[in-house]
A and B are shown apart, each in its own frame.
Chain A
Amino acid sequence: MKPLALLVPDALTATAVPVQAENSWVKALESLEVFGVPVGMLAIPAIPLVFIAVYALYVGVYGERKISAFIQDRIGPNETGKWGLLQTIADILKLIQKEDIVPAAADKPLFVLGPLIIFVGAFAAFAVLPFSSEFIGADLNVGVFYAVSIVSVEAVGILMCGWGSNNKWSLFGAVRSVAQVVSYEIPASIAILVGVMMAGSLSMQKIVMSQSGELGILHFAVFQSPVAWLAMIIYFIAALAECNRAPFDIPEAESELVSGYFTEYGGMKFAMIFLAEYASMFMTSVILSVLFLGGWNSPLPNIGGVALNDWTSGPVWGAFWIILKGFFFVIVMMWVRWTFPRFRVDQLMYLCWKVLTPIALLIFVFAAVWELYVR
């Protein structure tokens, strides 16, 4: 009998042939110094930051526009540059040029700090995302726990935005948002715990490594337990709610609350909130793929002599796979957004507390029993 994995976090890793994550790129960067200035230490956070910016520009905004255009039988941006590729750059330039307005009646410190805190909350979680076997900002032994908790800081930022705006609609949006984010953290965390329990570790790299093997996709956690896929779906739904994405976008509910907590924002402050939304979409998608879909592991199996898995593994391939998996879920989120109408605030709470949380708890218990006695 295995000991309950949660209580002894690093005791066991589940499956065969763990690929060693050396984090060698990070280590190399850490020691890089130019004239005593730790350039490498600055580069480590800069890489995800640049990644977010590029991703938000091209997959986030441009991709969302093109995807929504495809879904809605439109063309989408096509005038600015080839296939409209420069459209998002033009938008950014416009946002930068805008006057930085703070409403006269607003609570200025809160109003200015709100977007920053939202962005920092979303960005800080990127520290523990394993982009490859050799690159992770900080390989914490409580990585998942850190990601879950740092994202909660966003709720504070949202409340600051809503209160600081001194607008009743913004306040409504903020209050709704905080209630939503706090509530949905519970099913999300329980679903995450299912994944953590299966891997036997809270460290992102260890979770990923526990899912590697020659059979590729068959080693992924989602196929290791009969309830893992349910946990994955619950986490995905909760992630939609935590990112304030449709159909749970009631905090910003365009047609009801105008734009919710960021009604009064414009220019770069607005861009910051916007960027944070896309950043947290990618972040939750990556956490989902780390927990249940093997992170940076290749999904391709070795079939006899055709060693597809070996050929598609390695640090660079790892980065490719995790970004691909992350983008896949980001695109699913966009697809969901452009298909479904919006929940009402009480229906949202009903779904969280009376449907998702009980199911998640049942799955949790079942998964624990499965891990102890079957697997």
Chain B
Amino acid sequence: MAETLEYTPKTRLSQTGSNQYIVEKDLDTEYMTLNMGPQHPATHGVLRVELVTDGEVVMKATPHMGYLHRCFEKHAESLDYQKVIPYTDRMDYLSAMNTEHAFVMAVEKLLNIEVPRRVEFMRVIVAELQRIASHQVAIATYGLDIGAFTPFLHIMRDREHILTLLEWLCGARMLYNYIWVGGVSHNFPPKFKQRVAEFVKYYKPKVDEMMALLTENELFIERTRGIGILPADVAINYGCSGPMLRGSGVKWDLRKNDPYSIYPEIEFDVVVPDGKLSIIGDSLSRHLVRCYEIYESLKIIQQCLDKMPEDPNFDPHAAVPKRIKPPAGEVYARGENPRGEVGFYVISDGKGTKPFRCKARAACFVNLSVLPELAKGNLISDVVAILGSIDIVLGEVDR
């Protein structure tokens, strides 16, 4: 018997108590290497996880990534600043607006531009709509991973409303190129605000419905509670952010802790699990954080709609520079994406209209690196549950 891997008893057994199984050390068994992915429905794209299993118990999980590597950073060096924005969309294709926002903030910081106040409100509204849409996908596909098919389609039905709104705004449904350096591509169409307000009113009861159907389901709780517990210190050491970090009970949200745009003017709570339904740090906590963040985003949108300054002669391109040629320097700007901190480190050599270097800090990439830590000692089904709760988008992991 190969003794290369040390089997450590699971902590969750003592905590949940419902699942007791013993790995028989005396039997002459062998470890089996199992490839999960790159074509596997639960890996949310082209991730390959190499699992070493003893029966169904995972001894070791190694994520292999790079199947979707598209050289974003190298591409960015040969493109004008404006032209990089569509590429940032394609990093995290489920939260394109938020990623654009972070990149645009970096360039604006480099150029030292003041953005009109109304533009800031518009950006926050679309970013929060996008955050809801992104969390919807995360929750829906998580349900799918656990085996609940119906919530997926209910959620997709509601997500359609957001995509329709954003399509109306800028013509694209997922990859928008909406937020520009110094402005946005289009003003809000007439009655857009009204429609967004209607959506907020429509969607609140639907979130409750979704929570009742999925989150409060006994089987769902059984499957996720106490699975893949990520202690706060480990989360911080690995550099996790977003719902991963908040799920472990750390109150860290860049919209509060490093405020940007008009977030300081807006009231909302940073969601952390209270440990009543879930064990803090487990998969269920991360799921709960996403669910309750939808409520917070709805709150933010409502406040933005109320506070947004009206201006009939508003030109969204007023502050957009004709030619972006920043002075030499380097800048790091970061924003809170649905999946965590996304940051752009941009260096300008002051000679051209292209960035000298553009480094993207991807939240998913960092969050995914905890997987081996979490998967060890769990069943294969649990690896699926954990992977789903990390909520990866391979486009951002590989860039």
Contact = CB atoms under 8 A, between A and B. Distances in A.
B291 to A, nearest CB: 15
Interface stretch (A147-155, A250-258, A295-303): A250-258
Contacts of A250: 381
Interface SS of A by simple majority: loop
Contacts, number: 85
Contacts of A79: none
Given A340-B219, A341-B147, A344-B379, A255 B154 contact: no
Nearest to A257: B380
A71 interface: yes
A258 B149 CA distance: 15
Contacts of A345: 56, 379, 381
A244 B217 CA distance: 21
Contacts of B68: none
Nearest to B384: A256
Interface SS of B by simple majority: helix
A122 B387 CA distance: 36
Interface stretch (B23-31, B34-42, B120-128): B34-42
A343 B41 contact: no
Contact of A344 (B40, B143, B217, B223): B223
A67 to B, nearest CB: 11
B219 A256 contact: no
Nearest to A259: B41
A169 B214 CA distance: 27
B19 A350 contact: yes
A254 B41 contact: yes
Interface in B4-48: 18-19, 21, 32, 34, 40-42
Contact of B146 (A72, A249, A341): A341
Interface residues of B, number: 32
Contacts of B217: 340-341
B26 to A, nearest CB: 20
Interface string A314-355: 000000000000000000000000111111111100100000
A227 B154 CA distance: 38
Interface string A227-271: 000000000000000000011011001111110000000000000
Given A73-B153, A256-B384, A341-B219, A347 B19 contact: yes
A149 to B, nearest CB: 29
Given A256-B381, A346-B21, A247 B147 contact: yes
12 contacts: A72-B150, A246-B147, A250-B381, A253-B147, A256-B145, A257-B380, A338-B149, A341-B147, A342-B147, A344-B223, A344-B379, A346-B21
